[in-house]
Every structure is written in structure tokens, then in C-alpha cells.
Structure 1
């Protein structure tokens, strides 16, 4: 693999998200993929708009379908069932959900079976239809047994990486995709591959990081509306809707909820550069946030059945629950440990005359509680330190900078030199800073320091070349290299955990309480 090392960075981690890519209205392109068709109905269940491939899949031209009641093409029993479900959704006070449906469509003298998804909306009803596949080889019992087995394996895993690897392995076995990745987002929306299962001829992406622009904001947002994203064949001709403007809304039809929604050409180019013809991605959503993706790749076109896709959707939910439960367990363990140390420190704090002594030299102390390299207390003109810290004069200058530039009670960064260039001189002691204000107007702070930790990040391709703009500045292309690209990040410390910040804030409140009690 290609191995390049760029010049060392002098600041914090660069933001590789893309406002440009993230602003493209993916849901209003008025095109669908050709492996299914779309009907747009008004509230009286008359067909008002249809995809132009109706002749291919139904044997009926769009003009034949337009303005016709759905009842003219669907058996009465199915229509009554659909109307009942739509009525239930209308009466429900909960958020509207998509309705899976088996549909028999009468086209002339023949009946065609479809798997349908009905999307009830305020002004209209969208029906996505895909030809029903024969699934005799996999009975319901077989699917149930497979899902139950995979679920039990996921529950047995005892770490994030172990869960991710089991998910990748079992998804590959279950679906037959050539490569399955479990992809975790970081706070800046870059994604790291933490689980992988693949055939020997597929490239190895385990441990590599992908820039946020690969899954821009607009695409990430759509995962909250779609249970999965399927592209069964990269080389397809997109199908337009007829008529072009939706007669109900007088604008392009919003395809946010549609699985058949066509794909931006830049993403199809991206797939070609990766050497894949089919892909399917399933979101991992926990506690209302997009944690990551399960991304499936195939070298040739692949059409997973509706049954398989539904099972993948269910399994991704189970995986997300297990990942969320494990992370909660880890947080609870960390919080329990910190609570014990925090309680002891509070006792020391109120029993000793000088709070700085308790914070810096007690057992435990601030360094142990927050995993610091060193700490300093600036109070009443004095500077007291413990561990590895910048020189006293530099600490005073840092406090002056904080007083001028931070209005927050707590200031935190894991790349102080990026915000305060003068601190580069003592990066080994203070690349990370957690500053707790006592009396900022007087320059009084509790300062917590972490030293520099050099990090080598393995990217899948150069993240600075993730998007290649055309000379006119309008068109753009995705990168064409996914080879290993190593980037060394300097002037950063280990990140601050939320539990550490909460413990620090509680300690700050206790210090202020002690000061107020003694003075007043």
C-alpha cells in the first residue's frame, strides 16, 4: 500500500466535514433508482405522479396510470387493508411511520406481485414498489433462527471492538456481501473502521479513518428518516417522475423517506473509485445520535431481498442497543471510581485550612482524579503547582490570556497551542488545558495540564484531497485513492472525557463554597 507522511500539523485536528457537500438537497432530485417504481397518491388514493419506468415494471405507461384510483389496480381486500392502516396512522398521535405492504398490481390480464413501502404524509401518500423476489430458500423459521443466533453473539461481546467485529462477521455471513465494515463517527464526523469482514480480494480497510466529507451532513441527516441506504447496481440510468412537478405540492416531490431515491453522481463515482458495484449502509443510532454505520460492499450488482434488508435493519438496532449498553457500563464504572475519589477529596477539602493543599497534595489529589500531568492553583497572588507544569511566569501569562479571552466558568481544550500559540514552548507540559475559574477578574484559576501525545492517524487516502473541484468551481469529484495515508498530529493531548469535566465542575463548586463560607 502507498505510505506517505505529510508535514506535522501544528494545531488541533483539522475539520474535514464539507459544507459544500452537506448543502446539496439529496432529497429533492426528482429521480429514483430503476429497480423499483414510485407512485404518488393524493388523499383520495388517486395516482397523481408516477415514475417513468412503470412501463418496464407494470407494462403500463405513466399516462395510463395518472389520475386513476388505486382501486382500479389493486384487489379490494388489499385496498381495504391499506386504507385501514392509513386510517390508524392518521389517528395516531405518534410520529408517522412507514407501512410495509405486499401489493398485487393488476396490469391488463396479468397480476404482478410487489413488495411495497407506504409513506403517509400530510398532503400525499408515497408508495415505493419493488418486484417481489422468490424467497423459498429461506423460510421464516430459518430467518428467525439466524437472527436469534446473531443476537446472542452480539450480546456476548464485551467491548466495542468485539461487538463491531461480530456484527461485521455475521452481517457478511448473513447477506453474502463481499465486504462489511462497522464504521464509528468521531466528534468531527470522521469515521473509523473498527470492525471488518471481507473476501480475500477486497482491500483491507480495518483501522483506517475516512474524512467527514465522505458522509456529509445532508447524507447523515437522512439516516434518521431511512432505515438503510441501498444501491444495488452502481451503473444505472436514473428514472424521472412524471409529471416533473408534483401536481399536489406544485414542486419537486420530497423523496426524503424513499429508499428508491436516486444517488448523487459524485457518490456513484466514489463507489467506482472504490471498485464496488453495489452498496448498502445501515445506521447505528443510539440515544438519538448517529453513532456509526454498517457499510456493505459488493464487487458486482447485488439485490438483497426485502426480507434480508428488514433483518439487517432489525440487527442494526440490536447492535446499537448493545453498543449503547456497553458504553453506559463503561461510563458507569468510570463514574463510580471517580465518585469515590471525589468524595475523599471533598472531605480533605473541607477539613484542611488551605484548599490548594488539599487539591494538589491530598490523597487522592487533582492529578489522580483527572489523570493529569500536572496542576496549578492561582489564588490571592500565589501560584502553587504539582507535577509537570509550565514555569510559574508562563502560568501567570496563561491566566492573563484566559482572563482576556474566556468568559466561561470552565475552559477546556486538548490543543492549547492552537488557541494560544505562546504555549508551544511548553507543549510537553500543557498541550491540554482544563481551566476552572475561581475569580477570573483577579486571575484566580485552578489549571489542569496534560502533556503532548503524538498521534499517528491512518487515513484511507489523503483527507486533504477528499474532494477535487473542477476549474469552474462548480463541479467536483471524490478522491480516487484509498491507499494508506499516515498523518502525525502534534500539539494535542489526550481528550477530556465528559465524566472528567463533570467531576472537575463539581470540584470547582466545592472550592467556591469553601471560599464563600470562610470569607463570609
Structure 2
């Protein structure tokens, strides 16, 4: 069902990156999910802390394992291999690298094989163990062929949306999840779904925006330490660590690097409201920044093999590289085009007697260089205009306001009415302003205008109800509707791109240089 929100006023771009959600210490909850177990070892590889589900997965009570050397349970050769990997990890200059391996755990005549990930830290070593299911593993050849095909399709896609859609399609086919979403974060950390593959009975989320509070800051930060986040079954019972306090650190164990880390109850409630029982998310990281997520949903419990998860981690890296390469190509192309136009304008500027004529009448001109709807040059008491602009008197009043309120050489906004309410009268031609100061003390400026562009934002549920607080002010719940919720943003222009701002600043310097030459 579609809901329509009130029209948003200028400057009301709301920050949904909740400080409250972002302050919850997700890494210090001292609980793990039950599909694996956790060992905490000291530097001598003695077991100092263990998850209480060792009784089910190992057949031994915590007291029978604690204070025992790992060597008492693991074959000598496997222990040597583990120690070698730990040594290599510690020598990697603090670069985060997971160490997957296979480990046989012997208990009272029984042997169980686990897939193990080790996390060496300054004072301790965390060992995550999941029961191995080798009979489900695909042959190396079949596995390699699938990865090769998926990689090829991702590389063939030729724009951001096509790459995202290819990733969603292939992840769904490869993993069997009911729905796979690829969504991209904006500058406010809201995420918009730009790729989707799903079964017919799953809701359609393509094109919808999710508020930043859905993936708060501390959860985003953890993606730099964890290659993925897996919740195989929403209705699990969390497993405690024993003893409660870590004997090595004398506090709760920091589970930042652990994939088994338990999930906040509010997120499990969120999954229930969304109608899913299992989820897995993989980050898309570009140039050290979190660009977006690949989010997988399933209606029933689902436990991808370690092999599948490793493949998803690899494929997400390949997708991030391809997305990054495409965006670099686009930026390079835009910069090259703008440099060509700027060079032509620069030549005109120094050939022409009057810089105003060069900027407004040349080919290319100021409007073409910066994609403007109109421009005005205030110089030596005159107002020169081009394209769609406010009335001359209003332009003079705007320059006076700039002189009083802006000390910057360049002033830029895509919502002028927010800062200067008088401009609402001419929002159609000047909701966006880029002002280049020539001689601000004399009210001399180059003013670049962009008109209002009404924008409809399609949210997945009402973002103002993303968090519902209890009367106690401490407990809270996620929203229970993800239906289309529309907002109309008014009194704003198209945003100014970084390349445009750089070109404008360079042009301002060139104009000042010409003026100085002419006068002195």
C-alpha cells in the first residue's frame, strides 16, 4: 500500500542516522549465535573461555575444557598448521585477514571436524568453530566454473545499475536466497536499492530508500572487520560465554571480529517485521569506504556453507572493484569534458576585452560549463545576466545578503530558500546558488543559478517511524511496515558536483587574474 508524506520544506533533509542506535555496543554483548562455538585462548593456546553450547557441539561441559591446552584436543599436525597461520597473521602488520582452516576436535574417543576461523589479538586468540559439512561442498571444478561465470557477467555490465542487477541475479542463483538486494549508501547513510532479484512471493523493494538507522554507524563500522554478517535463523536462543568475564581481559570479550556474534534483539524483530527468517549481508567497500551492501533474505532458516560464504565474500570484492572502476571512468570522462570547456573559456577570457562578455557570450559560456539555468555578473555597478535569473533588483539584494552573511570566496547551496527565505519568490529559477566572490566588499560577484527540481523520494516504510521508543525511553522497536512511503522534496535544485565546484573556483581565480592585469 502506498502512503504519501507531507511535502518537505527546504533544508529539511533529515538525518536518520540515529545517535541512539549508533551508541549500542554490538561487539560487547557476550553472546553468540548457536550454529557455531567460540573458544578464547591465551598466547600459550590454553582455553580460558568457551561458549556454553560446547556441551551440544563437543559433548563436553565448559568445565571439562576450560584451562586445558588446545593440544589436548587437536591432532599435533593440525595444531602446528594453526600455529603457523597465527604467526603469519601476527606478522601481517595489523591487516585484518581471516584464517580459515579445518580442525579435528577429539573428545573421549569421538572426533568432530570443524571449519575454523582464528582471530589473533594482542592479549588473546579467538577461535570460531562451525561443524564442517564436507558432503555438501561442490567440487573445485564446478565451484570455479560458477565463480568464473559470475565474474564474467559482472565485468560485462556497463553502468552502476546494470552491475548491481547482475550481482543480485547471480548471487540469488548461486546461493538460493529468496531475495537479494544491492543497495547504495548516500551522503546521509540512507541506502537505496539499485539491484534486486527475488522470488515472486517476496515484496518488491527495488528503487526504495531505507533510512540510515536501519544500518547504524557501529554496524557499518563492523563491516570493515567482518567479511559478512550471517543470521541463519532468526528465532535462535543466544549462547552465553563461560565464564561471563574473560579471565584474560577481566571484562566482556570483544566480539568485533567474530562472525558468530549474536544479534541485537531489535534487529531480529526488524527481520520478523520484514517477513524473513534468515539473512546474510556482504559489504561493498571501495577505496577504504563503505559504498553499499549486498543483502540476502530468506523466508525460512538458511545456512550457507562456509564455501558459499567465502565465494560471496570474493564476489563482493570483485563487484566493488567493477563498480569503482565504472565510477572512476565516469568521473574521468566528466572531468575531461569539463577541462576542455574550461580551457576554451580561459582562452576566450584573456582574448576578450571584457571578461563579462567572455563568460556570458562565448562558446562555451558559463551556463554550459556549469550546467546552469541562468547566471548574473555584478561588476562596477552593473548587472549582466544570461538565461533564467531573478529580477535585477532581487539579484542586488541577494548580493547584499551574501556580502553580510558569507565570508567564503565561494558560496554554494542547492537549497537557497533555507538560508535566504526571501529567495522563495524566485525559487523556480534560483533554488540553487553558486556564488563566486570577485570583490565582495563592493558587492561584486559571479552568481550561478539552478531552478527548483521537485523530487519524490520513495521510502521503504515511514522513515520517521523507523524507531518506536517505549515510554521508559530505553526500550525501542523497529518499524513494522515496509510499504512504499513517498516524500516530495521542494525548493531544492540539482546538487552541485565536485568537478563543477573545482572548475568554478579555477574560473574565479582566472577572472581575478584578468582584472588585476587590466587594472595594474
Q: Which bracket does the TM-score occupy, shorter chain normalised? A: over 0.9
| CA RMSD in angstroms, aligned pairs only | 1.2
Match of 1:251 in 2: 251
Q: Secondary structure at the match of 1:129?
A: strand
Q: Which residue of 2 aligns with 1:398?
A: 398
| Structure 1 residue 11 displacement after superposition | 1.4
SS at match of 1:304: coil
Map of 1:155-304 to 2, 5 A cutoff?
A: 155-304=155-304
Does 1:9 pair with 2:12? no
Name the residue aligned to 2:69. Answer: 69
Are 1:453 and 2:453 counterparts? yes
Provide the residue aligned with 1:109 in structure 2: 109
> In structure 1, how many angstroms separate the alpha carbons of the residues matched to 2:65 and 2:441?
74
The structural deviation recorded for 1:335 is 1.2
Compared with structure 1, are the counterparts of its residues 354 and 174 closer, same or farther at alpha carbon in structure 2 (3 Å cutoff)? same
- Greater alpha carbon shift after TM alignment, 89-98 vs 31-40: 89-98
Shift of 1:151: 0.4
In the TM superposition, residue 136 of structure 1 has moved relative to its aligned partner by 4.5
For each residue in 1:8-42, what CA deviation from the matched residue of structure 2 results, as whole angstroms up to 9, or x when unmatched?
Answer: 11113222221111111111111111111111111
Normalising to structure 1: TM-score of the pair? 0.98
How many Å apart are 1:407 and its aligned residue?
2.6
Q: Does residue 330 of the first structure (1) align with residue 330 of the second (2)? A: yes
CA contact (8 A) 1:98 1:120 kept: no
- Per the alignment, residue 357 of structure 1 pairs with 357
How many Å separate the matches in 2 of 1:519 and 1:197? 64
In structure 1, the residue corresponding to 2:189 is in which secondary structure?
coil
CA contact (8 A) 1:96 1:120 kept: no
1:32 aligns with 2:32: yes
CA separation in 2, counterparts of 1:45 and 1:411? 60
Following superposition of structure 1 onto structure 2, how do residues 341-490 of structure 1 map, counting pairs within 5 Å? 341-490=341-490
Q: How many residues align?
A: 519
Once the two structures are TM-superposed, the CA of residue 221 in structure 1 deviates from its matched residue by: 1.0
Q: Distance in 2 between matches of 1:472 and 1:154?
A: 49
Distance in 1, Cα, partners of 2:433 & 2:423:
10
CA contact (8 A) 2:137 2:307 kept: no
**What do residues 304-335 of structure 1 show as CA deviations (whole Å, max 9, x unaligned)?**
00000000000000001001111111111111
Residue aligning to 2:80: 80
1:151 is aligned to: 151
Cα distance in 1 for partners of 2:420, 2:109 equals 77
Q: What's the CA shift string for 1:269-318, capped at 9, x where partnerless?
A: 00000000000000011111111100000000000000000000000000
Cα displacement (A) at 1:63: 1.3
Q: CA deviation at 1:252?
A: 1.1
Compare 381-390 and 308-317 and name the one that shifted more. Answer: 381-390
Distance 2:157 2:403 in 1: 48
Q: What are the ranges of 5 or more consecutive residues in structure 1 without an aligned counterpart? A: none
1:321 aligns with 2:283: no
CA distance in 2: counterparts of 1:136 and 1:476, whole angstroms: 40
Show structure 1 runs of 4+ deviating over 6 A: none
1:495 aligns to what?
495
Secondary structure of the residue aligned to 1:471 is: coil
Q: Which moved more, 1:238-247 or 1:306-315?
A: 238-247
Report the alpha carbon displacement of residue 89 of structure 1 after superposing the two structures with TM: 2.4
Q: What SS does the aligned partner of 1:104 have?
A: strand
The offset of 1:96, in angstroms, is 4.1
Q: Distance in 1 between matches of 2:41 and 2:398?
A: 65
| Cα distance in 2 between the residues matched to 1:515 and 1:122 | 62
- Of 476-485 and 135-144, more deviation after overlay is shown by 135-144
How many Å separate the matches in 1 of 2:27 and 2:332?
A: 40
Which has the larger displacement, 306-315 or 398-407?
A: 398-407
Secondary structure at the counterpart of residue 452 of structure 1: coil
Once the two structures are overlaid, the 10-residue window that deviates more, 249-258 or 292-301, is: 249-258
User: Whole-Å Cα distance in 2 between the matches of residues 126 and 403 of structure 1?
Assistant: 60
Alignment partners' CA distance in 1, 2:174 and 2:76: 37
Q: Secondary structure at the match of 1:111?
A: strand
Q: Distance in 2 between matches of 1:164 and 1:135?
A: 32
The superposition leaves residues 18-74 of structure 1 with CA deviations (integer Å, 9 ceiling, x where unpaired) of 111111111111111111111111111111111111111111111111111111111
Tell whether the 8 Å contact from 2:73 to 2:105 is kept in structure 1 after alignment. Answer: yes
Deviates more, 1:292-301 or 1:7-16: 7-16
Point out the more displaced range, 341-350 or 407-416.
407-416
CA distance in structure 1 between the aligned counterparts of 2:65 and 2:168, rounded to whole angstroms: 43
Distance 2:91 2:468 in 1: 49
Provide the rounded CA distance (Å) in 1 between the counterparts of 2:482 and 2:96: 40
